[in-house]
Amino acid sequence: MSRAKGKVALVAGGAGFIGSNLCDRLLAEGAEVICLDNFQTGRSDNLQHLASETRFDVIDHDIIEPLPSELRSGRTKITHIYHFGCAASPPHYQVDPEHTMLTNVVGTRNLLRLAEHMSARLLLSSTSEVYGDPEVHPQREDYLGAVSCTGPRACYDEGKRAAETLAFDFLRAKRADVRVARIFNTYGPRMRCDDGRVVSNVVCQALAGDDITIYGDGSQTRSFCFIDDMLEGLFRLMDSDRAIGIPVNLGNPDELAVTNLVDLVVKMTGSKSRVTFEPLPVDDPRRRKPDISRALELLDGWQPAVNLEEGLNATIAWFQDERHRIAQPMFA
Ligand code: UDP
């Protein structure tokens, strides 16, 4: 495969779950890749297998600080910037909400200015969280959302909304070519067991025989997209020749309740774990499901191809291996 030959890609957040899978895919398709990560939630383990890859480099840096001069000097001509640089699970991004907000505002501005300087195209990873606790179902891109600007999720939700604002301001002013993906719940290998997300929590709890925690009564819904489908959507969005000056939802429209997910994981792992119920977090969206008709139209018929059971199979197998793996950090 050589879809990315000639590409010099900067992947901010390249040590994270989606970012590191993206680095692998870019390298497999022939790109040179520079990973920029502050290792707040990204892990060097995710990059260990790339230690001797000559087309791969890692820079340990926080995007809210001025970008390293080695990037700004222009010595390396970056052609594409993938901006995945932000903690994305609620417990992680809420640890330091001020930092989360600044990552999305100052960090995004820093990367947009680099894109401007390099005449590179930038893909911003935005989120379904921009729709907040939606009153419209499923969520189309023209729905403006119901977001609390004062709640504990606001640092991320409003941060991403502000990041989108900056991206489209740069685009309107013709300062940078940008693409904006609104990413819905995504899962797969390289999630963290301590991520706090429902898929990683439930799989890890089931494998360990620990109590499985359902927040609220478990009737809230999500729609889970497997990482490979997400990567394909991101590739198509970044590389499309069309002028896509609007945000595009990427996600799997198969919606299910949290209790159904738990039942499926318990069945697939044969776990003896008990299920316990804990309070629903503040501002936890009741329902979420992407309308992907825009992606279908603009990204040459893109739609997810991996069903939940297949995706969970791969994810469970990966977590099983992970439980036995010994971490030997090489970059951090
Ligand atoms: N959730 C749960 N148990 C867990 C973790 C999460 O029931 O151990 C719930 C959470 O309250 C939410 C849904 O599962 O309603 C999805 O949570 P996640 O953090 O994965 O994603 P997000 O809320 O950001 O969509």
Look at residue 313 and give its three-state secondary structure.
helix
Average of per-residue pLDDT across 286-304? 97
Closest CA to 64 of 19, 22, 100: 100
pLDDT for 4: 82
- In short, whether 284's Cβ falls inside 6 Å of ligand 1 is yes
DSSP sequence for 190-204: T--TTS--HHHHHHH
- In short, whether 220's Cβ falls inside 6 Å of ligand 1 is yes
- In short, whether 127's Cβ falls inside 6 Å of ligand 1 is no
Q: 173 pLDDT band (50/70/90 cuts)? A: very high
Q: Are the C-beta atoms of residues 218 and 261 closer than 8 Å to each other?
A: no
Is the pLDDT at 118 greater than 60, yes or no? yes
pLDDT for 176: 98
Q: In ligand 1, which atom is closest to the CA atom of 129? A: 24
- In short, whether 103's Cβ falls inside 6 Å of ligand 1 is no
Q: Which residues contact 52 (CB under 8 A, 6 or more apart)?
A: none
Better pLDDT: 76 or 80 = 80
Give me the active site residues, please.
Answer: 156
Q: How far is CA 125 from CA 122, 161, 237, 287, in A?
A: 10, 11, 11, 21
Average of per-residue pLDDT across 6-22? 97
Q: Which helix (H) or strand (E) holds 10?
A: strand 8-12
Q: Render pLDDT for 204-252 as a digit per residue (tens, 0 to 9).
A: 999 999 999 999 999 999 999 999 999 999 999 999 999 999 999 999 9
For ligand 1, mutation pick of 222, 276, 277, 312 (most atoms within 8 Å of CB): 222
pLDDT for 1: 66
Give the number of other Cβ atoms within 10 Å of residue 97's Cβ: 15
pLDDT for 225: 98
Total residue count of the chain as it appears in this document: 332
Q: Which residues pair with 257 in a beta bridge?
A: 221
Look at residue 236 and give its three-state secondary structure.
helix
- In short, whether 198's Cβ falls inside 6 Å of ligand 1 is yes
Residue nearest to atom 13 of ligand 1 (CA): 198
pLDDT for 8: 97
Q: Are the C-beta atoms of residues 217 and 277 closer than 8 Å to each other?
A: yes
CA distance 19 to 40: 13
Cα Rg of the chain (Å, integer): 19
Q: In ligand 1, which atom is closest to the CA atom of 288? A: 25
Q: What is the pTM of this model?
A: 0.96
Average of per-residue pLDDT across 183-203? 96
For ligand 1, mutation pick of 258, 273, 276 (most atoms within 8 Å of CB): 258
pLDDT for 322: 87
CA distance 186 to 292: 15
Distance 37 CA to ligand 1 centre (A): 25
- In short, whether 289's Cβ falls inside 6 Å of ligand 1 is no
Distance 199 CA to ligand 1 centre (A): 8
Average of per-residue pLDDT across 57-82? 94
Is the pLDDT at 123 greater than 60, yes or no? yes
Q: Render pLDDT for 26-42 as a digit per residue (tens, 0 to 9).
A: 999 999 999 999 999 99
Average of per-residue pLDDT across 273-297? 96
